[in-house]
Amino acid sequence: MESVDDQSSRLQSSPDQRFHNEQVSRYTAHNQQHVFGHYDSLSSEEKSSLDSTLSKIDLTALDDLFTTVMSTPPVNPSDTSFRPFTGSTSSSYPNPATDTTASIIAKHRSIGLKAIRENKVACVLLSGGQGTRLGFDGPKGAFDIGLPSGKCLFEIMIEKSRKLVELAHEADDEVVGEGGEEISPKTKSQITWYIMTSPLNHSQHLEIFKSNDYFGLPPSSVVFFQQGVLPCLTTDGKIIMTSKSEVAVAPDGNGGIYPALISSGSLEDMKARGVEYLHIFAVDNVLVKVADPIFVGYCVDLGVSVGNKVLWKRDASEKVGVVVEDTNTQRPQVIEYSDMDATMKELKDEKGRLVYGAGNICNHFLTVEFLDTVIRKNLKQIFHVAKKKIPYLSPCGGFTVKPEEVNGVKLESFIFDVFPMAGSGGKGEKGENGMAVLEVLRAHEFSPIKNSNSPSASLADPTPDSPLAALKMYSNWHSGAYWRSHASPSERLGR
């Protein structure tokens, strides 16, 4: 018969117990042992879930990040001097609304198409959001936006990239096989897609793409990776528990795309494939010009590390961040609408145009070199503190408290937080080659689908968030043959 001491020794040496003991040791070493305060009262399943969750948290990195962020004084926009961003040649670039000469546009389009042919361009899709506001239970990209085709956002965007590959090869008459035969565009090159999901919808993405045959793409050219989450912390760095067995966590912001690309192995995958340029955009913008060769060629021609498409604000009250330049550092950044005073918001030039009007729309170009050599070593710099009301476990452990006052912090970042790292125009270290801004037309490039009940509108004048905006643009492309010779040069190039 097994003695009590033998039974205890056997239990202590079981794999689950050893795993738990390892977590206790780790968390005790980092002064976070309070997370096990109610461990003995948990069921076996709850114990296993908590141990698994805790094992995935890099405590050393978390401590380091918290210390860095908390010791960095917040930037007060009123203490900083800004001026309109002038780090690119956008001021001399043909105005998309008035240009009738296509020589510069054609040059950049040719450069972009060449990069696509050579497999140097990849798409990075921000797709972590759910379709809750659309009345849809699933990833937003799978939502049918109401076009006659019934196609969802994923299919619309991927079809654009597939067609773009064909156009890239149509523009190169010299690409033939060894025997002089024409090679199918599909066998010559692909635009690889890197799709950022969230822990909430990652498995749904996998199922949707598999059941739809990857919307015509080879499975090998679609790479999924998850956006990160970070524990919520008290102001003195303690991990907050929302229940006896659950850690309070929060997404690390859309700027979490950078650590996620690195930690998931996606960056190394890009380098192995020979990808040099990334087009990063959000899933809800149905009018996005996927891997836009003009935008890519523009940035490649300028030799910049970062590119940003902007729309000029309709008026001073439009609540969108704008691209500016810090006069002290001469580096680009995005200043939030809430951080601009009335004078800055309303300032106009002699033509009546807003001086600070370059609205940021989450449509970016990035070099893989910049991600690998600059962002990778400066990840801590992109995070900042967001003070929040975070539900927490009551001291007695009996219930969850919803605080009425701020009681903790979330560590988060924005995708544009890397803009200052690009340098001031080729004067920085390796990879810091400056940033370029390209202004585009709202009606051609920006129609985010925000809800399922868009206001009624005519096709002649659709509301910005209406599927009719997309239908109008696609109808124009079809009837005007944007990619052929029947439209003006600027229209033919999708400008």
Q: Does 480 fall in a domain?
A: no
Based on the domain organization, do 243 and 119 belong to the same domain? yes
Place of tokens 């064909």: 166
Q: What pLDDT sits at residue 136?
A: 77
* Closest of 59, 398, 1 to residue 230, by C-alpha: 59
* Of residues 353, 358, 274, 294, the one with CA closest to residue 86: 358
DSSP helix/strand/coil, 17: helix
The answer to whether 331 touches 325, Cβ cutoff 8 Å, is yes
Round to whole Å and give the CA distance between 316 and 273: 44
Residue 352 lies in a domain: yes
* Residue 475: predicted pLDDT: 56
Question: Which residues are bridge partners to 438 per DSSP?
Answer: 309
Token representation of residue 252: 């690390």
Tokens standing for 412? 């988060």
Sign of CA dihedral 252, 253, 256, 257: positive
Q: Tell whether 41 and 80 lie within a shared domain.
A: no
The SS3 assignment for 373 reads helix
The boundaries of the domain holding residue 1 are: 1-58
* 140 and 33 in a common domain: no
Tell me how far apart the alpha carbons of residues 199 and 209 are, in angstroms, rounded to a whole number.
17
**Residue 13 sits in the same domain as residue 139:** no
Give the residue from 27, 58, 89 where a domain finishes: 58
- Please report the beta strands in 398-457, taking only residues with DSSP state E, as ranges in sequence order: 400-401, 408-412, 435-439
Last residue of a domain, one of 417, 432, 450: 450
Residue 26: is it exposed, middle or buried by C-beta count within 10 angstroms (0-12/13-18/19+)?
middle
382 and 295 in a common domain:
yes
- From first to last of its 495 residues, the chain has per-residue pLDDT tens of 455 455 455 445 688 899 999 999 999 999 999 999 999 999 999 999 999 999 999 999 999 999 988 887 766 655 568 888 875 544 445 555 455 457 788 889 999 999 999 999 999 999 988 777 777 788 999 998 888 888 999 999 999 999 999 999 887 755 444 555 554 444 468 999 999 999 889 999 999 999 999 999 999 999 999 998 999 999 999 999 999 999 999 988 899 999 999 999 999 999 999 999 999 999 999 999 999 999 999 999 999 999 999 999 999 999 999 999 988 888 899 998 888 889 999 999 898 989 999 999 999 999 999 999 999 999 888 898 889 999 999 988 778 999 999 999 999 899 999 999 998 654 455 567 889 999 888 888 998 887 655 433 333 334 445 555 666 665 555 444 443 333 333 333 333
Residues 45 and 143 occupy one common structural domain: no
Segments of 192-267 assigned E as strands: 192-197, 222-226, 229-231, 241-243, 246-247, 249-251
Q: How many CB atoms lie within 10 A of CB 269?
A: 16
Q: Residue 439 and residue 446: Cα distance in Å, rounded?
A: 12
Residues 6+ apart with CB under 8 A from 173: none
Regarding whether 171 and 81 lie in a shared domain, the answer is yes
Domains identified in the chain, total number:
2
Distance CA 285, CA 263 (A): 27
Residue at 142 is within a domain: yes
Q: Are residues 382 and 298 in the same domain?
A: yes
Question: What does the pLDDT read at residue 430?
Answer: 58
Strand partners, 401: 392
| Tokens (6 digits) for 409 | 């912090």
Q: Which of 206, 194, 215 is nearest to 281 (CA)?
A: 194
Specify whether the CB–CB gap between 183 and 177 falls below 8 A. yes
Element (H, E) at 387: strand 384-388
Asked, for residue 63, whether it belongs to a domain, the answer is no
319 & 413 share domain: yes
Task: Tell whether 103 and 35 lie within a shared domain.
Answer: no
Residue 433 lies in a domain: yes
User: Buried b vs exposed e over 386-400: b needs ≥16 C-beta within 10 Å?
Assistant: eeeebbbbeeeeeee
Give the Cα separation of 301 and 284 in Å (integer): 29
* Crossing angle for the helix pair 293-302 and 103-117, to the nearest 10 degrees: 100
Same-domain status, 402 and 314: yes
Q: What counts of helices (H) and strands (E) characterise the chain? A: 16, 18
- Domain assignment present for 493: no
Tokens 């006069």 belong to which residue?
Answer: 327
First-to-final CA distance of the chain: 84
Do 32 and 107 share a domain, yes or no? Answer: no
Nearest to 314 by CA among 463, 198, 195: 463
Residue 158 token pair:
């991927």
329: amino acid identity, one letter? T
d(CA 57, CA 154): 32
Residue 170, domain member (yes or no): yes
> What one-character DSSP code corresponds to residue 128?
-
Those residues whose C-beta lies under 8 Å from the C-beta of residue 73, and which sit 6 or more positions away, are none
Domain CATH for 376 = 3.90.550.10
The answer to whether the CB of 156 falls within 8 A of the CB of 286 is: yes
Taking alpha carbons only, the member of 85, 77, 174 closest to residue 419 is: 85
**pTM as predicted:** 0.83
Residue 67 placed within a domain: no
- Tell me the C-alpha distance between 72 and 202, whole Å: 34
Going from the C-alpha of 157 to that of each of 394, 453, 479, the distances in angstroms are 47, 22, 20
Of 65, 64, 33, residue with least CA distance to 410: 65
